[in-house]
Amino acid sequence: MKRTPLTIEWSLLGLIHQQPMHGYELHQRLSNAEGLGLVWRLKQSQLYALLSRLEARGYLSATLESQEPRPPRKVFSLTTSGRDAFLEWVQSPVSRGRDFRMEFLAKLYFAHLEGKTTVQHLLERQREACQNWKAAQEAEADTSREAAPYQWLVYQFRIGQMQAMLDWLDTCEQTLFNLTPEDRENEPS
Amino acid sequence: MKRTPLTIEWSLLGLIHQQPMHGYELHQRLSNAEGLGLVWRLKQSQLYALLSRLEARGYLSATLESQEPRPPRKVFSLTTSGRDAFLEWVQSPVSRGRDFRMEFLAKLYFAHLEGKTTVQHLLERQREACQNWKAAQEAEADTSREAAPYQWLVYQFRIGQMQAMLDWLDTCEQTLFNLTPEDRENEPS
DNA sequence: GGCCGCATGTAATCTGTTACATGATTCT
DNA sequence: AGAATCATGTAACAGATTACATGCGGCC
């Protein structure tokens, strides 16, 4: 019954982590591309449904704020368990390539708000994960080299996507910290 | 009510296009990675549900083949409308980057079976689509260059993924036709 | 008068996932 | 005796998408 939230829900938790908010405000922040709007697109109706679910699962608690004569605002805050879960999420890399496009971009956004060390740690761990995954695909590709051209192409595709992600992780580091690639090699930790 | 099939369903139509088949056989072909198994993973139960839907939508027709004492096989063939729809699908590029990973790989597989000209046409059209999409993202990226670093990174990510796809399309052409890049430049059409 | 902004939702439908159900035969 | 193969499905539930519903106040 109480399963882990899925990708968009984490972003909602992340926004509320910055500051308690009601549904309408969340919707505006997501829509008015302050960055995140590029990644998520969410209908109001779905938003309210997600918030109810997160409340039911104990990640959020709500207080009503009367606004006569408008409908009262339902202001959500993170519970302790919600905050813990979010902080855990924001620091852990995504494990499958297909989760990169939306979920990792969201993590990066929030990790950046958490501070320099959090982003750097996330980037480092994600790089490792991608490298492992890429290596596994390369091993598979080798076994199908001449025998099965279609399969080989599928692996090549995945490897290419992974390599692009790895390159992009470097770009992130350089952009967010104004580092050159040499800096990263010479000053690890 | 009669909307277009979604990605996996096209693959089922494609397999049946090769030769009429019953559900169990389809499941085997998809599982026993003859290439496609790498891309799709499908539970038996869902497979039968999809087949029923395709039949209801008029893309498939079924005939029963008694196999005493086993349950009779339900052998599906493409209807005319099913065949037309499939051939249209297999020749048209995917329009969004996120559809590349599964849907385009499936198209490639079936286009290859249709023959050399079909693949080549598909690759060419897909390359164009990717280039346009990439150019659009590059234009967006320029507008956010210094102002919004996170947005810029999002665009860079997409551009990188797109570039990797374009490179991979070249790899496909070289692998399937044993062409060097120069050949493609010198002998277009 | 009509549309936009504020602020909340419910309901219906579609799709995907998981588990369960049946029942004979052949392999170990 | 128990597992795998052949061959079909149904049922229940979770999640996403879309449409619909309400109601006031301010702007053009």
pLDDT tens digit sequence for A21-76: 999 999 999 987 678 898 999 999 999 999 999 999 999 999 999 988 888 999 99
Tell whether B17 and B71 lie within a shared domain: yes
Cβ(B42)–Cβ(B8) below 8 Å: yes
Asked if B172's CB is within 8 angstroms of A105's CB, the reply is: no
CATH number of the domain where residue B53 is located = 1.10.10.10
pLDDT of residue B61: 96
Query: Per-residue pLDDT tens for B75-128?
Result: 999 999 999 999 999 999 999 998 999 999 999 999 999 999 999 999 999 999
**Phi, psi (degrees; rounded to nearest 5) at B119:** -60, -45
Give just the sign of the alpha carbon dihedral A31, A33, A36, A38: positive
**Are both A12 and A83 inside the same structural domain?**
yes
**Per-residue pLDDT tens for A119-168?**
999 999 999 999 999 999 999 999 888 888 999 999 999 999 999 999 99
What's the confidence (pLDDT) of residue B186? 64
Contacts of A77 (CB under 8 A, 6+ apart): A16, A20, A60, A61, A62, A63
Rounded distance between C-alpha atoms, residue B74 and residue B15, angstroms: 15
**Domain tally, chain B:** 2
Query: Nearest C-alpha of chain A: how many angstroms from B169?
Result: 9
Kindly indicate the confidence band of residue B27, based on its pLDDT and cuts at 50, 70 and 90.
Answer: very high
Q: What is the mean pLDDT of residues B37-65?
A: 93
Q: How far apart are CA B189 and CA A112, in angstroms?
A: 49
* One domain for residues A121 and A68: no
3-state secondary structure labels for all residues of B66-111: EECCEEEEEEEEECHHHHHHHHHHHHCCCCCHHHHHHHHHHHHHHH
Nearest of B153, B164, B162 to residue A173 by alpha carbon: B153
Among A101, A149, A168, the residue with its CB nearest the CB of B98 is: A101
Higher pLDDT, A96 or B188: A96
> Do the Cβ atoms of A36 and A102 come closer than 8 Å?
no
Q: For chain A, how far is it from start to end, CA to CA, in angstroms?
A: 40
Q: Report the chain A residue with the minimal C-alpha distance to residue B154.
A: A105
- In-domain check, residue A44: yes
**Residue B101, domain member (yes or no):** no
Residue A16 domain boundaries: 7-90
Q: Would you state the pLDDT for residue A183?
A: 62
Average pLDDT over residues A70-91: 95
Contact of B127 with B169, CB cutoff 8 Å: yes
Q: Which residues of chain A are within 8 Å of residue B167 when distances are taken between CB atoms?
A: 160
B2 is a domain residue: no
